[in-house]
């Protein structure tokens, strides 16, 4: 579904372009549709800590204020949708090289179309030269120091945590092989994964990659892979 909403701000009219994945029609609240950037800033909660980091040319490389968790969205039946939104850095990675602000969004759709793990894309937005992508929140935790403290509060020892890391590294190697077989090349670091943990048994059920702005696609290998999995 596409939408163009004219809004007035200080006598300046600007168009808002929103495209919603059909699976999520009915979940997106009116407040977001009317002014997505304002909604992002006022209703979103930062999920990363730290300061903005720039490269030697002054370009933003890491911005913890650019990724936010939204309040739970509900449809008319009361079904819930948890989402994460990201303000796109149009100069970063393959986004800047391609000139496509929705590069990450499209990569996630490609990955999911061949049954490899990625968050489900929900919506993409353009408003006054600012771009947002919205995706479904993946259950689990990021691997950061504060999450290790959280695990210790749940009774995990240092040995338990190291064991989880070893499990994750094995899973990452397996995933990397599957992705590269499909012609999808990306970095593989613990910090770029979401971990679905079985807390009772202290095991990782699965890992889901995030952060796709540097991902490269080998189109020939991707098409060959599609043909193989489709029989």
* Nearest to 80, CA basis, from 72, 71, 91: 72
3-state secondary structure of 139: coil
What whole-number distance in Å separates Cα of residue 202 and Cα of residue 204? Answer: 7
User: What percentage of the chain's residues is helix, strand, coil (to nearest 5)?
Assistant: 35, 30, 35
* Nearest to 103, CA basis, from 89, 113, 83: 89
Q: What is the residue-level pLDDT of the chain in tens, covering all 231 positions?
A: 555 444 333 333 458 999 999 999 999 999 999 999 999 999 999 987 555 666 655 555 566 689 999 999 999 999 999 999 999 999 888 998 999 999 999 999 999 999 999 999 999 999 999 999 999 999 988 876 567 778 888 889 999 999 999 999 999 999 999 999 999 999 999 989 999 999 999 999 999 999 999 999 999 999 999 999 987
């Amino acid at each position: 579904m596409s939408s163009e909403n004219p809004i007035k701000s200080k006598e300046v009219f600007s168009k808002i372009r929103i495209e919603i994945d059909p699976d999520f029609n009915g979940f997106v609240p009116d407040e977001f549709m009317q002014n997505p950037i304002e909604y992002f800033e006022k209703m979103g909660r930062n999920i990363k800590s730290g300061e903005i980091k720039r490269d030697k040319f002054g370009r933003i490389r890491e911005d913890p204020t650019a990724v936010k968790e939204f309040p739970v969205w509900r449809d008319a039946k009361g079904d819930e949708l948890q989402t994460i939104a990201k303000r796109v850095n149009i100069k970063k990675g393959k986004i800047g090289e391609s000139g496509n602000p929705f590069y990450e969004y499209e990569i996630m759709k490609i990955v999911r179309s061949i049954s490899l793990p990625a968050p489900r894309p929900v919506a993409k937005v353009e408003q006054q030269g600012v771009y947002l992508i919205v995706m479904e929140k993946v259950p689990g935790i990021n691997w950061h120091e504060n999450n290790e403290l959280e695990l210790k509060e749940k009774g995990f020892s240092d040995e338990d945590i190291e064991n989880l890391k070893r499990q994750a590294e094995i899973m990452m190697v397996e995933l990397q092989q599957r992705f590269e077989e499909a012609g999808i090349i990306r970095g593989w670091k613990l910090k770029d994964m979401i971990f679905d943990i079985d807390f009772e048994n202290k095991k990782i059920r699965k890992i889901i990659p995030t952060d796709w702005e540097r991902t490269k696609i080998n189109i020939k290998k991707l098409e060959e892979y599609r043909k193989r999995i489709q029989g």
